[in-house]
């Protein structure tokens, strides 16, 4: 049993919307330094679960504890300051520079607030993160001119500048070509060294998009947990086939995962 601090705990969480039960008794414990993948088909309930992890949604029944605070008994804005969120659908419309985008992680806003200026220390910290995430020399480049991969790395820097204890990555490889995806995953892998106590949850429905440093996985389908725990135990041919409702062969090579349909007539263990 790990003795690391518990960062997130869901206990028998049920969620109903308009009379329909979306999640059915989900439990999950994430500790400091663990890197979780949240996997499942479209409509499995991943986005709803991520809402609990980000202190954005309250459960209908069950308990959600985030960073030591129980949802429903704690001020949510205070919790959210310690949670970094990376969403490739970031709704920025202004031509901010990479540096300015990263600094908005301190203000919790999409655009730079009027009359707000960073301190010298904050600007230096933004520069350090920009270099760490492979964007050195590009701090002044503007959002509309960036590639999707550059935007993704800028958003990770934005999420990290507030020194969060929990990092949520919501399908961060969306819209990326193969090279950009690999660069992004290499960036995520760096975090185990640069931010060793950070816990993370990465949402995807593609096993190929899992960083090598992923330690655990929660596999969900139709609002229920199919498997969860250390990644080698949670992601198997049997569990992935069950979650996606199709015979799928799962393999791991050099730390990276892959999935393909099993041959017709083959037995899925």
> Taking the domains of the chain in order of start, what are their residue ranges?
83-163
Q: What is the dihedral of CA 52, 57, 59, 64, to 10 degrees?
A: 40
Q: What is the predicted pLDDT for the residue at 228?
A: 96
Q: Helix or strand or coil: residue 23?
A: strand
Cα 127 to Cα 211: distance, rounded to the nearest angstrom: 25
Q: What is the predicted pLDDT for the residue at 264?
A: 58
Q: ∠107-168-127 over CA atoms, to 5°?
A: 50
Q: What is the predicted pLDDT for the residue at 266?
A: 52
Cα 208 to Cα 238: distance, rounded to the nearest angstrom: 17
Q: What is the predicted pLDDT for the residue at 78?
A: 79
Contact 212, 32 (CB under 8 A): no
- For 54-74, the DSSP string reads TT----SEEEEEETTEETTSS
Q: What is the predicted pLDDT for the residue at 262?
A: 79
Q: What is the predicted pLDDT for the residue at 205?
A: 86
Q: Look at the block and give the residue holding tokens 């949240």.
A: 38
Mean pLDDT in each 10-residue stretch from start to end of the chain (269 residues)? 83 92 94 96 90 90 92 82 90 93 91 90 95 92 94 94 94 90 92 94 93 96 95 96 94 93 62
Cα 206 to Cα 214: distance, rounded to the nearest angstrom: 13
Bridge partner residues of 15 (DSSP): 23
For residue 128, give every residue at least 6 positions away whose Cβ sits within 8 Å of its Cβ, in sequence order, or none.
none
């Amino acid at each position: 049993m790990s003795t690391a601090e518990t960062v997130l705990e869901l206990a028998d969480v049920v969620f109903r919307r308009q009379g329909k039960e979306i999640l059915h008794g989900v439990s999950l414990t994430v500790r400091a330094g663990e890197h979780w993948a949240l996997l499942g088909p479209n409509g499995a309930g991943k986005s709803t679960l991520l809402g609990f992890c980000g202190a954005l949604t309250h459960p209908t029944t069950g308990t959600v504890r985030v960073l030591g605070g129980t949802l429903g008994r704690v001020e949510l804005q205070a919790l959210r300051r310690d949670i970094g969120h990376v969403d490739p659908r970031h709704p920025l419309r202004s031509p901010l520079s990479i540096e300015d985008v990263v600094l908005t992680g301190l203000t919790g806003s999409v655009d730079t607030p009027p009359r707000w200026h960073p301190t010298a220390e904050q600007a230096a910290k933004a520069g350090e993160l920009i270099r760490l995430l492979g964007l050195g020399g590009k701090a002044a480049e503007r959002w509309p001119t960036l590639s999707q991969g550059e935007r993704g790395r800028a958003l990770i820097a934005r999420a990290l500048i507030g020194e969060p204890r929990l990092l949520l990555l919501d399908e961060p490889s969306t819209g990326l070509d193969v090279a950009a995806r690999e660069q992004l995953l290499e960036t995520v892998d760096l975090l185990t060294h640069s931010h060793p106590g950070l816990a993370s949850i990465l949402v995807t429905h593609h096993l190929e998009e899992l960083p090598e440093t992923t330690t655990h996985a929660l596999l969900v389908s139709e609002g229920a947990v199919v498997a969860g725990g250390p990644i080698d135990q949670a992601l198997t041919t049997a569990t992935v086939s069950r979650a996606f409702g199709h015979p799928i062969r799962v393999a791991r090579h050099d730390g990276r995962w892959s999935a393909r349909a099993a041959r017709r007539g083959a037995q899925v263990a």
